[in-house]
Structure 1
Amino acid sequence: MSNEGDSVPTEPADNSQVEDCAGASSLQVPASIPVHPDSPTAEVVGSNLSQLAIKRAYNELGESEATRAVALTALRELVTNDAQLSCRTDNAFLIKFLRHRKFNVEGAHQKIRAYLQVRNTMSDVFANFNPGGVRAVLEGYPNLFCLLPERDSEGRLLVMCRVGAWDCDGVSRTDLLRTVGVLMEAALEEEETQVNGVSVILDLHGLSWHQILTMKRDSYLKRLKEVVSKALPVRVKQIHLMRGGRIFDVAFKIFSFLLSAKMRQRVLNHGPSVASLHKAIEPRLLPIEQPFCGTMDSHTDESLRLRPFKEGRFDLLSGRWDAWFEANNKQKFLEN
């Protein structure tokens, strides 16, 4: 199946259950991988999508019950017969890559290879790749990252990063990259995120030359691109920039070559304008403090500030995700 040009059913997929078409696998990976309570199981992939996501999956990705079942079967066969892959073949795993590649089965197969191969080429990042391995960052720098609890009007997950909160002497580039990877891995367990993608909000207040030079060393931004863009099946739909200032303007000219032309078009630079940000993202979804000046309810705002990643659906520090990461990390790309 290709990204474009193939016909799709004339009626959008409904919200009913799809038959489980998981087959037996000879790969040395647990047959019954622990599934996080908020994840789609092999039997119900596609059944929990919102109406917005169902329409988008059909119109943008070519996904329907019929195309989904055929593509899952075809991708499972490719993965099972790939001697270099020792990986999961359950629907919940495979569907993430099919959606990312718009149901191009061979494209999804290559994405899975990249997803596992990067674990070899960046073994330092993927060592201790689990919530425990990023606990020091999430607890020690609670304002650095935030996954907002409500989605925007397009159904996208809102991912916030306060760049100025990064202490590059206390948090290494490897630790930072590992944290981003773990957060995105957890976020991609939600089907809505697989279909609708994510919007990233970067508060650049406090960005320093020390941080910029630290990111420039060891090709950090190139490594970030390798993990987020080339390996993880995440659809980054928008990047919102706040309070960049002159330092960022200079740095962006230096590093923008790492962004594709399509991604550069998705960058929205709001500068110091709260009104511009609110035009793009509803204030009720945003934290109360500057520069977001949102109207999020106070209880949620307090939870995000004082108990980040300890409650809610992204409670990575609660221990609830540990078994999932342990099993998922057993997958391997076998080098020739």
Structure 2
Amino acid sequence: MSNANSEEAFNIRIGYLKPETVEIAKNELRETPEVKEAAIKELRELLHAATDINYKDDDEFLVIFLRACHFYPQSALEKMRTTAAFRKDNAALVHGLLIEQLKDIFIQYGIVNVLKNCDQHGRRVMIVNCGELWDPAAVPSDDVFRMLYMVHIAAQLEPETQVRGVVCIMDFDGLSMKQVKALSPTFSKRLLTFIQDAMPLRMKEVHFVKQPFIFKLVWALFKPFVREKLNKRMHFHGSDMKSLQKFLSPEILPENYKGTQPKIDYGGADWFTPLEKHADFVREWSELGPAKW
């Protein structure tokens, strides 16, 4: 584990796929050198012909969308369009969004965290603390969304993550009415539209943990926007960590979730630096999408 850990921990892994990941890409995403080459060529042509959207057209960038769409160029173009539409609709939050604008809230507040290690399937695991660790008076829900948005841009840079997908743990420990109020219908709809339409990543599982009785108020807001595909990937565990461990091995989980890894003692201050190293990619990405903003 130690080698993998040091390589995964707070380090955005660029430009390589492990041999077993190449196999997963072939089996799950139809990715072979021939399919990939033809799909990149076709998507580039489709993109050049599209006047309503504006994206980079280098191979690496196109592959982000192609992997999210099983190398079907037409589907990838459609994903580019829905992503652009979302960005336009939420331009006030995401257009021109730079890493530096979020640095303080990433570092000061433990709302959004990423596990040091990947899970037993090699997937990145993000934790969103929606309970007492989140004070909406200090960090409004718009900023929580912007943080989640920023993390997904960084995750896109990892070919391993493009192929293997991501897992999210939504931790509602200590949820009270002040957080429930901040998780408004507007926020719920925006977050779910983003996950389902405008995120060129494979969201494999969403785990809800430590949610108290009051959580049913939150779920009532989210539920109408959840489509069937995502619904099948959502799992509710409450305080039953054995239930969570059916999906995420205790070996990869920290003590916070009754795993064998040490208790989480890291946060934004630890993993913000690798994000900063890729500030140029984030800056470029913040201008892309709609042809006209």
TM-score where L is the length of structure 1: 0.77
Q: 2:162 aligns with which of 194, 198, 203?
A: 194
Q: Residue 75 of structure 1 aligns with which residue?
A: 43
**1:334 paired residue number:** 291
Asked if 1 retains the 8 angstrom alpha-carbon contact of 2:211 and 2:238, the reply is: yes
Q: Which has the higher helix share?
A: 2
Q: Is the 8 A contact 1:287 1:296 kept in 2?
A: yes
Task: Give the 3-state SS of the residue equivalent to 1:279 in structure 2.
Answer: coil
Q: Which moved more, 1:119-128 or 1:84-93?
A: 119-128
**Amino acid of the structure 2 residue aligned with 1:334:** A
**Change in CA separation of 1:279 and 1:85 when aligned onto 2, cut-off 3 Å:** closer
Q: Secondary structure at the match of 1:154?
A: coil
Are the equivalent residues in 2 in contact too, given 1:138–1:309 (CA < 8 A)? Answer: no
Give yes or no for the alignment of 1:144 onto 2:111: yes
2:84 aligned to which of 116, 136, 141: 116
The answer on 1:182 being equivalent to 2:150 is yes
Q: Deviations over 1:265-284 (max 9, x none)?
A: 22222211222223321223
User: 8 Å contact 1:52–1:155 — kept in the other structure?
Assistant: no
Q: Which residue of 2 aligns with 1:252?
A: 219
CA distance in 2, matches of 1:73, 1:293: 48
Are 1:54 and 2:16 counterparts? Answer: no
Whole-Å Cα distance in 1 between the matches of residues 283 and 237 of structure 2?
Answer: 40
User: Partner of 2:270: helix, strand, or coil?
Assistant: coil
Per-residue deviation at 1:251?
2.9
Give the unaligned 5+ runs of structure 1: 1-35, 41-47
Relative to structure 1, the CA distance from residue 118 to residue 287 in structure 2 (aligned partners, 3 Å threshold; closer, same or farther) is: same
Measure, in 2, the Cα distance between the counterparts of 1:96 and 1:254: 31
Amino acid aligned to 2:230:
M
1:276-302 residue CA offsets vs partner (Å, 9 max, x unmatched): 2233212232223x3x1332257xx44
**Higher RCO structure (Cα 8 Å, ≥6 apart):** 2
Q: CA RMSD in A?
A: 2.2
The whole-number CA distance in structure 1 between the counterparts of 2:178 and 2:91 is 26
Aligned to 1:243: 210
* Paired positions, count: 282
Aligned pair partner of 1:325 in 258, 282, 286: 282
1:327/1:306 Cα in 2 relative to 1: closer, same or farther (>3 Å)? closer
Report the AA paired with residue 324 of structure 1. Answer: F
Aligned-pair identity in percent equals 26
SS at match of 2:251: helix
Specify the alignment match of 2:261 in structure 1: 296
Q: Distance in 1 between matches of 2:45 and 2:213?
A: 52
Aligned residue in 2 for 1:262:
229
Give the match for residue 14 of structure 2: 39
Q: CA deviation at 1:144?
A: 1.1
Map of 1:307 onto structure 2? 269
Give the gaps of 5 or more residues in structure 2.
1-10
Structure 2 CA distance, aligned partners of 1:88 and 1:204? 38
Q: What one-letter code is carried by the residue in structure 1 that aligns with 2:269?
A: R
Any conservation in 1 of the 2:204–2:233 contact (CA below 8 Å)?
Answer: yes
Determine the C-alpha separation between the residues in 1 that align with 2:19 and 2:242: 30
Name the aligned partner's letter for residue 280 of structure 1.
F
Equivalent in the alignment of 1:225: 192
Which amino acid is the alignment partner of residue 321 of structure 1? H
Give the 3 Å change call, closer, same or farther, for CA 306–156 of structure 1 in structure 2. Answer: closer
Distance 2:43 2:30 in 1: 16
CA distance in 2, matches of 1:96, 1:306: 25
Mapped contact 2:170–2:206 kept (Cα < 8 A): yes
> Residue 103 of structure 2 contacts residue 272 of structure 2 at CA under 8 Å; is this kept in 1?
no
Question: Does the C-alpha gap of structure 1 residues 156 and 222 become closer, same or farther in structure 2, counting only changes over 3 Å?
Answer: same
